[in-house]
Amino acid sequence: MKPHITTLALTLMFSTFSLAAERYDTGALRTVQKHCTSCHGTPFFQAKQIDDSDWKFFFNTEGELEKIHKDKPEALANLASPSFKQKKKRILKFFIENSMYSGSVNGCDGNFCGTNH
Ligand code: HEC
């Protein structure tokens, strides 16, 4: 009986973990918080401003993000930073998954709660 309960408990634990892990990419969220939030609001709010094809356009068109921020030296510096460049693909995925028509609504958790920055 005992090992059975342990197995059940472990299975439940793992399924809870993997569910939580799939909600969104916390690494991408933190990088966006660091580099974009001061102007664009929380990462989830920012993601909702445009739809998935717009996100693809801005991220996949060479020089487009730089062009749109050409009068914003702070934004240009953040776009050029190694941490943004390194996570760029993950950040695009994060924005797409939470974009305008994605239907995703994020609850309150340790990284994000309503309007906190
Ligand atoms: C210093 C302030 C500032 C920072 C930091 C900043 N942006 Fe912006 N961003 C702006 C402004 C202002 C606009 C609007 C420009 C326009 O509409 O002509 C804009 C526009 C955009 C747009 C075009 C779509 C839209 O919502 O208007 C995208 C995409 C974007 N920013 C992404 C980013 C990302 C990703 C980061 C973080 C790496 C970032 N921005 C950091 C100020 C900033």
Residue 70: the pLDDT is 98
How many domains are contained in the chain? Answer: 1
Residue 106: the pLDDT is 87
Cβ contact 79:66 at 8 Å = yes
Q: Which atom of ligand 1 is nearest to the CA of 95?
A: 35
Residue 1: the pLDDT is 55
What are the tens digits of pLDDT across the range 54-112? 999 999 999 999 999 999 999 999 999 999 999 999 999 999 999 999 999 888 888 88
**Residue at 103 is within a domain:** no
**Residue at 47 is within a domain:** yes
**Residue at 36 is within a domain:** yes
Pocket mutation for ligand 1, best pick of 33, 39, 70 (most atoms within 8 Å of C-beta): 39
**Residue at 10 is within a domain:** no
* Domain with 86 in it: 25-97
**Residue at 37 is within a domain:** yes
pTM over the 0.75 mark: yes
**Tokens 């950040």 map to which residue?**
91
**Residue at 107 is within a domain:** no
**Residue at 109 is within a domain:** no
Residues 6+ apart with CB under 8 A from 91: 28, 31, 32, 59, 84
**Residue at 75 is within a domain:** yes
Residue 36 has pLDDT above 90, yes or no: yes
Kindly report the protein residue whose alpha carbon is nearest to atom 17 of ligand 1. Answer: 68
Which residues, judged by CB distance below 6 Å to any ligand atom, belong to the binding site of ligand 1?
35-36, 38-40, 49-50, 58, 65, 68-69, 72, 74-75, 78-79, 84
